[in-house]
Amino acid sequence: MPQQDFLEYFPYPSLRPYQDKAIAFSRDVFRDELIGLLSSPCGTGKSISVLTGYLAAGGPSIGRLLVLTRTKNQSEVYCRELQALRDRRGVRMIASIFVSRQDMCPLVKRRGLKTSYRDFLVLCRALRKGLGEELCDYYFNTVHGWYPTKRARKVVDKLAELGVSSPDFVCEVSESEGLCPYEVTKLLSHRAHVIIGNYNYALMDPVRESVLSKMGADVEDLNCVFDEAHALPLYAAELLSDELSLTTVQRATTEAEEFKVDDAGLLKSLEGFMERTEERLVKANALNEEKLIEHGSLVLALIEDTKLRSPSALKSLLADLEEEGERIRLQRSQEGKQPVSYVGRVASFLRLWVETEESKFVKYAMVESYDASRRFKLGIRCLDPSVACRVLNEFRSCMLMSGTLWEPDYYVDVLGLDAKRVRFLELPSPFPDENMMIIVDMAVTTKFERRSDVEWDKMASRLVEMIKAIDGRVAVFFPSYEVMSVIVNRLRGQLDVPMLVENRGTKISEVKEFATKNEKCVLLGVARGKISEGVEIVSEGRSMLNAVILAGLPYPKNTELHQALTEYFKAKFGDQAFKYATVMPCSIAIAQSAGRLIRGPEDRGLVILMDSRAARSFKRYLPRDWVERMRQRLSLDAIIREIRAFMKNTS
């Protein structure tokens, strides 16, 4: 494709290396109604490439563009690029940018509501439907039935004239007029050429149908982009999964007594089932890993204890309890309390349990035991991401892009994509090879058979020397919280720099603040965790990290749950099962963890893989340019010399 064909749209004075290929590929996917997989490293300008490709293919004349991201930060990138197209190229497209209904809700801010998204949605629905004494004025000031109010139309006209407005600005303008910002965004989407939201706007049927109805569009008329699409398999499976703790059930029992809910003994029955299962697992010392249980064992126990005659009678009771949950949330809200309902939460979990009997789902129990605390929970896990992702084949065109899509067959198979429509493009890194050094420490491993105090001591002592030699900001990622805990306990007292250790409650803002405040520090987290995937550790567009260390290969833990996934994939994909269930998640986790390091052309950094397996057969699943640059070292002294030489050239 000649450059002049798209330079009329491209808003910047020059193209990055290979960016013309990304634009041409995007144009072809949109124009020819295909499903594109674009693997292109971070910092290559994928967002503006896909927007330019859409315009080059015809823009709104070929159908509207739905851009889906995982995080608010990613959606902000598209907001900036759309504004650049408008300011520099006069491209006057209207954009409607969604963040979660809860984040946009004026009532949440005004009342300081702190509740789960699930509880918030139920409360919001009740306030909009008039199911209690209170109504949401913001909602009724915005719409009457299906029609916008005069005040809402005025605000939407203003936003449409501006073309691109951030969600924060939409909230500010809407609230000043007493309107619901989320409903204003939905009204704006009817006129928008580009709609930006999170994955749920495609993958969750009720959300997709609600938004599409406001847009006045059908799936087959839309062109869709999934950013950071490497996360789709796990995200889609988790979207259809759920967990319930024993603590929640106990609170539900107390709540049912307080609000005089007739549950026919169901909550006590569930509590007893969970306590017996926990006791059995603790007695067998089966801690911190999922243990499969039969779907029917819980259903049968509930039916027998409640004297219900059939699963259909159980479903009817659960529906009643979900309604009771709505009543409780409303009552608590009207009393100025947090709008939560444990009864409603339990009922929705059990309804999913009852409705998912097919082979695509498994049920499990787990006892989490860390330090002196213990927590028991039941879980439902979807094994097949294609259940949620089949809609991708219905879009007019669909673009999946990430820096780690180098195994297209994996995504085609696991997501259930129509292979006849799929096209694939892998672009090399545009940055000089010398910007990133890759070292494999051949002296250690986290292979299960080798795990011992001796191996942990060796890994910890080598890690200490590497961190001291780097003498900057270092992120260290472990295969699991258990491995991290073992190593971190050995690191304490050996390092004289600040350390931040990720836990399940770590906030992204805390990580950014910590890294900004400390020029020399260590971030310790888990591969596939918040720090490794959810945090942009950057300042003024440049990475703040000097090195990323993978302390072991992050293979999924070989639990009964993981074995069930492997068996399911074996039945569906044959000899690709181990690769799809085990190897690819590990490979993607490594690449995403290392991706925190190089965010632009001026960044330089070290990637150290502390596991000898990375340089053996596993390396075939790593990016080709990594393998070509990989330095295998057995001696710690040799590794330290390599680190110091690299850091000297960096400074």
How far does CA 137 lie from the centroid of its chain? 33
**What kind of fold does domain 242-382 have according to CATH?**
Fumarase C; Chain B, domain 1 (1.10.275)
For the beta carbon of residue 17, count every other beta carbon within 10 angstroms: 14
Is-contact 220 395, C-beta < 8 A? yes
What HEC string does 119-157 produce?
A: HHHHHHHHHHHCCCCCCCHHHHCCEECCEECHHHHHHHH
Q: What pLDDT band is residue 371 in, cutting at 50, 70 and 90?
A: low
Q: pTM of the entire structure?
A: 0.91
- Residue 241 predicted with pLDDT over 70: yes
Fold match between domain 4-101+149-155+178-233+386-426 and domain 433-650 = yes
Percentage, residues of the chain above pLDDT 90? 69
Domain spans, the chain: 4-101+149-155+178-233+386-426, 242-382, 433-650
- Residue 534 predicted with pLDDT over 70: no
DSSP string, 424-437: EEE----S-GGGEE
CA–CA–CA angle 143, 145, 149 (5° rounding): 30
Residue 386 phi, psi (nearest 5):
-65, -20
For the beta carbon of residue 58, count every other beta carbon within 10 angstroms: 13
Q: 3-state DSSP call for residue 439?
A: strand
pLDDT at residue 651 in the model: 60
pLDDT at residue 75 in the model: 85
- What is the pairing mode between strands 65-69 and 194-198? parallel
Helix (H) or strand (E) holding 569: helix 560-573
Mean pLDDT of 420-444: 90
pLDDT at residue 4 in the model: 56
User: Tokens for 166?
Assistant: 């951030």
Question: DSSP letter at 580?
Answer: I
What HEC string does 366-416 produce?
A: EEEEECCEEEEEEEEEECCCHHHHHHHHHCCEEEEEECCCCCHHHHHHHHC
What are the Cα distances from residue 102, in Å, to 112, 127, 227, 478? Answer: 12, 13, 22, 33
Q: What pLDDT band is residue 322 in, cutting at 50, 70 and 90?
A: very high
User: Tokens for 345?
Assistant: 């939460």
- Residue 43 predicted with pLDDT over 60: yes
pLDDT at residue 391 in the model: 95
| Residue where the block lists tokens 């297209």 | 408
The CA distance from 433 to 440, in Å, is 17
Lowest mean pLDDT among 145-154, 470-479, 537-546: 537-546
pLDDT at residue 622 in the model: 87
Q: What pLDDT band is residue 1 in, cutting at 50, 70 and 90?
A: very low
The CA distance from 248 to 381, in Å, is 19
Q: What is the mean pLDDT of the chain?
A: 91
Q: Considering the domain 433-650 in this protein, what is its CATH number?
A: 3.40.50.300
The CA distance from 223 to 220, in Å, is 8
Query: Which residues, at least 6 apart from 168, have a Cβ–Cβ distance to it below 8 Å?
Result: none
pLDDT at residue 417 in the model: 98
**What kind of fold does domain 4-101+149-155+178-233+386-426 have according to CATH?**
Rossmann fold (3.40.50)
For the chain, the straight-line distance linking the first and the last C-alpha, in angstroms and rounded, comes to: 40
The CA distance from 344 to 329, in Å, is 9
Burial 173-210 (b: 16+ CB within 10 A, else e): bbbebebbbbbbbbbbbbebbbbbbbbbbbbbeebbee
- Residue 42 predicted with pLDDT over 90: no
The CA distance from 461 to 225, in Å, is 45
